[in-house]
Chain A
C-alpha cells in the first residue's frame, strides 16, 4: 500500500516561493550566446549595377552565416508597414534586396494590420520607442505634431536624393508647414474601369471610351439594365450612401473648379463656387433622374467583378484583381471630364523617419535606406500596382513592362499623376478631407442623407462645410 503524502501549508508556501524565485531568476538570466555556424556555399546573387536599375544574376561562392550579423557591424532599422499581401510581398522583397546589397544597414520589418497601425504607432511614440521607418497612406501630420518625425528635406538632400525627379504634386501632398514629412512612395489615382462586354453588347466603340459628361452619360445609359423602371445593373456604379457617391461628388466638385480647402489649408472654401452643388445634383440625377445607378449595391468591388455594373471609378489597387478576374472583360480609361478641368482623385503613400533621442545614426541610415528604396523602386513598384511619384520611373520601360498587367490597362492610373488632386491634404486626420469617405466623417455625415433623398443639397453642403471647418480647426489648434 502506497504511503499517502500530505503537503502542509508551510511546504506549499515554500514550493510556491521557490517556483516564483526560479521564474524570476530565469527571466533575469542573460541571453544565451548564439554559436555562429559558418557555411560556405555557391549561391545565386542579384547584383544591382550602381546608379541604374539594372539587375544581374551571377553565381558566387559566399559565406553564409546561420546567425544574424552582430549589431555593431550593421545599423539595424525597424520598419513598420501595413500593406496587404499583394503590395506587401513585393515591398518586403525589395527590403530583402536592400539588405542584401547594403553592407552597413539592415532593415527589419513588421507587417501590421491597417486598423491597428495608427494605435500601435501612437503607443510606440507615447512610450518613446517608435520604429525607425514607417509607411503611411496619408500625410503623417499627427506624428509630426507629436514631435516624433524627422523632417526629410535636408536629411534626404544630404544623402543625394534628387527631388527634381518627383512630381511636385506628390511632394506637396506630404509637406506640412514647409517640412517634407514623408517621401512619396507610390500614388494611387483613380480612373474609370469599364466592362467591355457590356459596352460591346450595347454597340459602343471600346476604342473611344467616354471623355466628357455627354459621352459618359450616353455610355452609362446604354449599358444600364432596368426592370420595371428599377435599375438592376448600374451603367455607372454608385451606392445609396458612403464612399462611392461621396467620391464621385468630390471628383466632380474638383473638376467643376471647386475646392475643399484653400491653398495654404487655412480655410474651408467648399461653398465658394457652385461646383459642389452641381456635382451633388449630378450624383442625384444618376440615381433618380437618369436612372443609370442603383442605390442597392452592398459591395462595389464584387458588383463590378461579377459584371453587375459597367463603369466604376476606382483606384489602381484593383487593377490586377479586375484584370485577373475570370469572366470579367474590362478596360480602363481616364475619368471623363465633367466640368472645366480634367482632374482625378489621387493619394500618395510614403515612407517616413521617426525621431527619438539618440537616434541620429538611425536617421542618417534611414535616409540612406529610403534613398536606395526610392531610387530602385522600379524593381518593386510594377508588382505593387500604384504609380511612381518619380518621373524617371514612370518613363522607365522596365516599369511599363513589369507587373503582370499590360501597360494599356495600367496607363490611365499612371497618367493620372499628371492631373490628380491631392485627395489627402497634409493636415491632421486627412481622412476628414478625403472625399472617399463614409460614416460620421464630415462630408459623408452631411451628404449621405442627401444621396438617400432625406436632406436637400443646400443643407447638406452647408453642413459639410461646418464639419470640415471643425476638422480643420483641430489641425490648427494642435499647431
Chain B
C-alpha cells in the first residue's frame, strides 16, 4: 500500500516536472507562450486540413491515373509527358497569357486612377468608389449574363450604341479577334474595385507631410505623384500586380458562362480546361498535372515580379 502511494507521488512529481519543463521551454531565449499557440491552433488545423493536405494530395494525384471511383493508379510522369504533347495546352496557356497581358495592366492602371481620384476627395468621389466597387460584390453568374447581353452583335447594347455613331457592329463574343479582349474587359470591370481599395489604403498610408514638403520645395502635382506618391505606393502596387497576375491565370467564371471557351477554343482558359478534364472527363490525374503546371506558371511570374521589383522596394 505504502509502495503504491509512493509510486503515485513519484508519478505525480514526474508528470508535474514534464509540465513544468514544457511551461518553461524557451526558444531563442524567450519563453514559449503556449496559450498563444492554443489560439492559433483552430485556424492552423483548419488550414492544414483544407489547404496543405489538398495541395500535397493534388501533387500526388498528378502522378496517378484516377477517376474517383477506382483507387489512384501510380503512373509516374505519364501525365506530365502527355501535357507536353497535348495540343490544347499551348492553346489555353496562350489564351491565358493574352488575357493576363490585358487584364494586369488594365486593372492596375484603372484601379490606380480611381484610387487617386477617390483619395483626393474630388467631386462625386463617394459615388465613384461605390460604382467601381459594386461589380466586385455581384456574382460572376450575374455579371457574365449581363455582359453577354451588352456584347452581343445584333441586339447588344454596345453594338447598338456603336451603330448609332455610324460605326460597324462587332462580334465581340464570337470573333477570334475580339473574344479575348471582351473577356479581359469584363474581368477588368469586375476586379478594378477590389484593387482600388487596396491602392486607396496604400495612398491613405502615405504621410501628408511628405507631399507637403515636396510642394513647398516647388514640386508640381506630377512631380509629387511621380517622386513621392508612386515610390511610397510601390508595396501596394506590387501586391496588386501579384494578385492581378494570379487572378488573370485563374480566370474561369466569365469564360464558362460567356463563351464556353469558344469560338473554337479561342477563349478557353487553363482553369476551364482543368475543370472539363477533371470533372467532365474524370481524368483527375491529368487535371492535377495541369493544375501543377498552372501553379508553376503563376510561381514563375510571381518570382519574376520579385526579381523585377526587388531593387525598387523601399
Contact = CB atoms under 8 A, between A and B. Distances in A.
Contact of B67 (A142, A239, A298): A142
A51 B175 CA distance: 57
B264 A298 contact: no
B301 to A, nearest CB: 25
A344 interface: no
A99 interface: no
A306 interface: yes
Given A125-B69, A439-B265, A295 B279 contact: no
A299 B150 CA distance: 12
B70 A296 contact: no
Interface residues of B, number: 34
Contacts of A31: none
Interface in B49-97: 67-70, 88
Among B174, B258, B282, max chain A CB count under 10 A is at: B174
B119 interface: no
B259 to A, nearest CB: 8
Given A118-B280, A448-B263, A146 B69 contact: yes
B167 interface: no
Interface stretch (A8-16, A179-187, A375-383): A8-16
Contacts of A448: 262-265
B68 A240 contact: no
Given A306-B155, A431-B280, A240 B264 contact: yes
Contact of B68 (A9, A123, A239, A297): A123
A106 interface: no
B279 A454 contact: no
B248 to A, nearest CB: 21
Nearest to A122: B68
Given A146-B69, A439-B265, A296 B273 contact: no
A393 to B, nearest CB: 32
Nearest to A243: B260
Interface in A212-256: 232-233, 239-242
A429 B35 CA distance: 54
A316 interface: no
Contacts, number: 103
B188 interface: no
B68 A439 contact: no
A241 B259 CA distance: 10
Interface string A408-450: 0000000000000000000001010000001110000100110
Given A142-B69, A298-B151, A452 B279 contact: no
B98 interface: no
A167 interface: no
A308 B155 contact: yes
Contacts of A232: 154
Contacts of A306: 155
Given A9-B35, A125-B69, A440 B268 contact: yes
Given A142-B69, A439-B276, A445-B265, A122 B88 contact: no
A145 B153 CA distance: 45
B261 interface: yes
B264 A241 contact: yes
A115 interface: yes
Given A123-B68, A440-B88, A452 B276 contact: no
8 contacts: A12-B35, A125-B68, A142-B69, A146-B69, A240-B175, A296-B174, A302-B152, A448-B265
Interface of A: 9, 12-13, 16, 115, 118-119, 122-123, 125-126, 142-143, 145-146, 148, 232-233, 239-242, 294-299, 302-303, 306, 308, 429, 431, 438-440, 445, 448-449, 451-452, 454
Given A431-B280, A439-B262, 4 more contacts: A125-B69, A240-B262, A298-B258, A308-B155
